Structure 1
Amino acid sequence: MVSYALGLDYGSDSVRALLVNTATGDEVASSVVNYPRWAKGLYCEPAQDQFRQHPLDYLESLEQVLANLWGEAPEGAAESVVGVSFDTTGSTPVAVDAEGVALALKPEFAENPNAMFVLWKDHTAVKEAAEFTEAASRSEPNYLKYEGGIYSSEWYWSKALHVMRADGSVKEAAHMWVEHCDWMTAVLTGTTHPSELRMGRCATGHKVMWHASWGGYPPNDFFAGVDPILDGFVDRLPAETFTADQAVGPLTSEWAAKLGLPAGIPIGFSAFDCHMGAVAANVQPGVLTKVMGTSTCDITIASAEVIGDTCVRGICGQVDGSVIPGMIGLEAGQSAFGDLYAWFKNFVNGPAKAIIEQSNALDAAAKSQLIAELEDKTLIELSNAATAIAPGQTGVTALDWVNGRRTPDADQTVAGAISGLKMGSDAAAVFRALVEATAFGARAIIERFREEGVAIDSVVAIGGISKKSDFVMQTCADVWNCPIDVLESDQSCALGAAIFAATVGGAHDSVASAQKAMGSSVCKTYQPKAEAARTYDALYENYKALGQYANGGVA
């Protein structure tokens, strides 16, 4: 009898549903739904680094994406789903009250951005992150030693503290904070109440300071010492955490009816999108899985024996079981990748869009069509022109930190820069420098892993950019001087979630078995070009020098 696993991938802009045959790995149906409020730019202030998402965007989009999925899936497929698992962005926490209700779902907080999920890219908590880093540096043990030694404004505690400092009403109503990935599983299993809430290993280990060596989380005194506002919050978190091959509980009848699924099927513990994407990519020691989208997230694994007592500096954590049960998952990444290209597209298109919008010779439909064509074609034209430029030909060097630096050595106060501009510098030259900058930023991560004794011999790329741009991918292969395999699946993160869903649903007895049957194949490989790689060795030094000059240092 055919059985299916359902993987649900919550990205920055949309939720994706993927239905996968557990025996063959065939992706039999998929659907994508954009978050309606987020698409309108509601509750966000980009100039202040504020990015918030309403919980209703997640819930309403979930119902819609599955309604669409069943319209594409084989007849009766829903009744053959054996398990469901989620992945989400992170760290993306929300405040909940003493009953476990997300504050923005309550009438008095329905339009308050501080009561909503604080998206991963929200960088309003830079000051708070620095306070946690300073406090940990004075503690024994250093509670950040397994999280790279530096706490980030992108992470759970700094965001919670910042919001509660900024908004007294949220501070008074907040009983605890819950990551998006843990909230989704709790909603579908009816375990949102703090007394019933259970949390996954991935988010807690990488962002919430959980580690087995200190019996869970740092003590309450540590958090209260940073700010008394946090007094008691850590004691409300469940000390036990679970890997994603285990089930949180059964799908409730209420949500089964909403989603068109059988009641009682198991819901797996969730993880972050990049970690599950790495599972779909058959992650293994020595291979870096790079999720290339608006930002990047880089994942590799190592055995406990290889890692030993090493605490890798300046990454986003090393956590037992956060990717593959029984292996140490290591996470790094860049705060901007595709976002940098999108910024430049908007930068160069701004005047043209304004002229089109102000034209009296065009009706509204014609204006919309011209602007849509401009949006669709700009990066393609820039890439084509940039491809014709040889490495090092323009003399332009760029820095990729327009959204701060995630790794190595998190610092959201740094900024991007461009140097070497001449009268002959055109948009293609600058775009090429920006692409090279994102590749150089990734190289810094690879070199940090290697310096710390973690082998990186090759890269597997997943995410939209890896399938859309030969120019970007070849540049990366040349800058990193290593081969890059690109996965066939267009929904690798959702596929990773489906692999875990198949495991918790009993279709496979282990993640390894599910990976063997369901993991994605490679559709293309990029090999480094020796001459370009030698050129980029020299240009990488220019990139590091620009970082030192513009922002006071780059690792």
Structure 2
Amino acid sequence: MSIDAIIGVDIGTSSSKGVLVTLDGTVLSSASRSHVPERPREGWVEMSAELWWSEFVSIARELVDAAARAEAVIVSVGVSGMGPCVLVTDAAGTPLRPAILYGIDTRATRQIAELTLELGGDAAIMARTGSALSTQAVGPKLAWLSENEPEIFARSRRLFMPSSWLAWHLTGEYLLDHHSASQCTPLYDAGSHSWYEPWAAPIIGPIDLPSLCWPGDVAGQVSPAAAAESGLPAGIPVIAGTIDAWSEAVSVGAQRTGDLMLMYGTTMFLVNTVPQPVTAVGLWGTVGAFPGTHNLAGGMATSGAITGWLRDLLGEGDFPELLGLAAASGPGARGLLMLPYFAGERTPIQDPDARGIIAGLTISHTAGDLYRAALEATAFGVRHNIEAMRAAGGSIERIVAVGGGAQGDLWTQIVSDVTGLPQVLPSVLIGASYGAAFFAALAVTKADIDSWNPAAAVRQPNLALAAEYDELYALYRELYPATRDISHALAARQGRSGDITTQTSTPPPRSSNQKANSV
């Protein structure tokens, strides 16, 4: 006797992941494909959209085969992906260049400053959109494209992110979910839930912005062509989907007021659900994944990326071995302190020219000490973001951990020890692809995420370490302003060596009749 099942697929920074799930949330099979973003110049991070689709097809075919073995019938498909990204295509949907990734791509610092002045400053932009302009914003990257690749910009007709790109490939429908649109600052009006033409039109130029829907809405049905390529049944519903961190929050039920989702991945992401819109310089105010919900969000530019870099650099073997060495190092990493700004930093300092610092090194320090310092650095960054959220008016009553990095004990324990806050560990830590599957389930049945993914454990802080970590955190907060000027000077040198000028000084305002996308 066959059972009904759904597929969820997420396109992430370092891998694409998919799950085959029954309508009660049981995971029947999973699949993943690893990839590495392209970094053609200092501060640039890109990825091929063709890779997104080819990995989706490969994962879908593997999960379709798994469904056949399990005698499962696939009845719906959900998608999600990293973002906000900038993928421009021609009118036929053919990519014109690799996609420019989210806030880890810092190329548009000059355009951020220019647009901020032109649109009336941070306060005016936040009042309309929920967020100030930053490296996370889509608008400045489109302005960069207009100024630096005008031939490509002139041919651009459509704007995609990974989730909408997959939905378009599967259904032929050109749309974007409201949450992703709310990160297209300053193109979207968070109050009216619509594109804001007075600001969008001068920036988007020839691009026709997509229709808007909610992440759980049905985008369309799998077309015969997409079915032939992917192996999926033709005619089944495809969910619009959203940005991966919000799909992660859905996957663990962190959508109630006061919830904070903490995503342990290549980057660290925080999503706090708030009762009404909250704005703050240094953080991102967005609409939520469900109608009527609001979020205050933060994101670190690197977290798991640092631990991966250390593993490759040190040649010390696999992650379990390094975690054992870090545990042996002990709290405080034997006197090491790290700033985790290895790709600049997003929230709350919003400084693309910040750089990683390792302070206190001696010849007696070991690989385990360095790895421990990296884990503690991300924990200090989480604490900094949580303090900024609370100062802005965010309400944090429950923290829920998710993502690959949450599967071990040490990292989550360090974060709880540093913040002094417990974390709920759900039964399923898969993350965004599981959230995409849950959205897909909602299209065909009534589903409840609490029954899908109940809590498995709670990570409690070790209060005996509070004083030590308070002292180290105070030093962490002092280290960035003490080294900022040096880091900026070094970032400028790195920019010159990469044949790209990093400009962070405030430019003169443009005349009122000059378009934002002028060359």
Q: TM-score, normalised by structure 1?
A: 0.80
Query: Paired residue for 1:507, among 420, 438, 445?
Result: 445
Name the CA distance, whole Å, in 2 between partners of 1:537 and 1:100: 52
CA RMSD of aligned residues (A): 2.6
Following superposition, the deviation at residue 281 of structure 1 comes to: 0.6
| 1:211 partnered with 2:189 | yes
Change (3 A) 1:74 1:262: closer
| 1:96 partnered with 2:121 | no
The one-letter amino acid paired with 2:12 is G
> Which residue matches 2:476?
543
> Which residue matches 1:335?
301
Q: Secondary structure at the match of 1:127?
A: helix
> Which residue matches 2:160?
178
Query: Deviations 1:513-545 (Å, cap 9, x if unpaired)?
Result: 432442x23333221011212221121110000
Q: Secondary structure at the match of 2:266?
A: coil
Q: Within 5 Å, which residues of 2 pair with 1:88-167?
A: 88-103=81-96, 115-120=97-102, 121-138=104-121, 142-145=124-127, 149-167=131-149
> Which residue matches 1:315?
283
Q: Secondary structure at the match of 1:143?
A: helix
Name the CA distance, whole Å, in 2 between partners of 1:484 and 1:66: 33
Name the CA distance, whole Å, in 1 between partners of 2:71 and 2:182: 35
Name the CA distance, whole Å, in 2 between partners of 1:86 and 1:241: 16
Q: TM-score, normalised by structure 2?
A: 0.86
Query: Paired residue for 2:328, among 388, 395, 404?
Result: 388
Query: Paired residue for 1:426, among 345, 366, 383?
Result: 366
Query: Paired residue for 1:266, among 223, 237, 252?
Result: 237
Following superposition, the deviation at residue 279 of structure 1 comes to: 0.8
> Which residue matches 1:232?
205
Does structure 2 conserve the Cα–Cα contact (< 8 Å) formed by 1:18 and 1:495? yes
Change (3 A) 1:455 1:138: closer
Following superposition, the deviation at residue 71 of structure 1 comes to: 2.4
Change (3 A) 1:53 1:422: closer
Change (3 A) 1:61 1:127: same
The one-letter amino acid paired with 1:53 is M
Query: Deviations 1:232-284 (Å, cap 9, x if unpaired)?
Result: 357x324x522112111222111122222222221111201110111111112
Following superposition, the deviation at residue 222 of structure 1 comes to: 6.8
Name the CA distance, whole Å, in 2 between partners of 1:66 and 1:156: 29
The one-letter amino acid paired with 2:442 is T
Q: Within 5 Å, which residues of 2 pair with 1:16-31?
A: 16-22=17-23, 24-31=24-31
> Which residue matches 1:111?
none
The one-letter amino acid paired with 2:105 is D
Q: Secondary structure at the match of 2:116?
A: helix
Name the CA distance, whole Å, in 2 between partners of 1:174 and 1:467: 42
Does structure 2 conserve the Cα–Cα contact (< 8 Å) formed by 1:457 and 1:482? no
Following superposition, the deviation at residue 311 of structure 1 comes to: 1.9
Change (3 A) 1:516 1:529: closer
Following superposition, the deviation at residue 494 of structure 1 comes to: 0.9
| 1:473 partnered with 2:432 | no
The one-letter amino acid paired with 1:271 is T
Name the CA distance, whole Å, in 2 between partners of 1:392 and 1:14: 31
For structure 2, list consecutive stretches of 5 or more residues without a partner in the other structure. 488-519
Name the CA distance, whole Å, in 1 between partners of 2:167 and 2:353: 34
Query: Deviations 1:333-359 (Å, cap 9, x if unpaired)?
Result: 11100111122223333xxxxxxxxxx
The one-letter amino acid paired with 2:93 is G
Q: Within 5 Å, which residues of 2 pair with 1:24-103?
A: 24-35=24-35, 38=36, 43-45=38-40, 48-75=42-69, 77=71, 80-103=73-96
> Which residue matches 1:494?
433
Q: Secondary structure at the match of 1:66?
A: helix
> Which residue matches 1:298?
270
The one-letter amino acid paired with 1:545 is E
For structure 1, list consecutive stretches of 5 or more residues without a partner in the other structure. 104-114, 192-196, 225-229, 350-373
Does structure 2 conserve the Cα–Cα contact (< 8 Å) formed by 1:117 and 1:180? no
> Which residue matches 2:253?
282
Change (3 A) 1:145 1:398: farther
Name the CA distance, whole Å, in 2 between partners of 1:8 and 1:82: 14
Change (3 A) 1:168 1:453: closer
Does structure 1 conserve the Cα–Cα contact (< 8 Å) formed by 2:8 and 2:77? yes
The one-letter amino acid paired with 1:73 is A
Query: Deviations 1:69-109 (Å, cap 9, x if unpaired)?
Result: 1222244856x322211110012221111333322xxxxxx
Following superposition, the deviation at residue 174 of structure 1 comes to: 1.4
Following superposition, the deviation at residue 499 of structure 1 comes to: 0.9
> Which residue matches 1:399?
339
Q: Secondary structure at the match of 2:183?
A: helix
Change (3 A) 1:17 1:216: same
Does structure 1 conserve the Cα–Cα contact (< 8 Å) formed by 2:81 and 2:161? no
Change (3 A) 1:451 1:173: same
The one-letter amino acid paired with 2:448 is A
More helix by share: 1
> Which residue matches 1:201?
178
Aligned residue pairs, count: 483
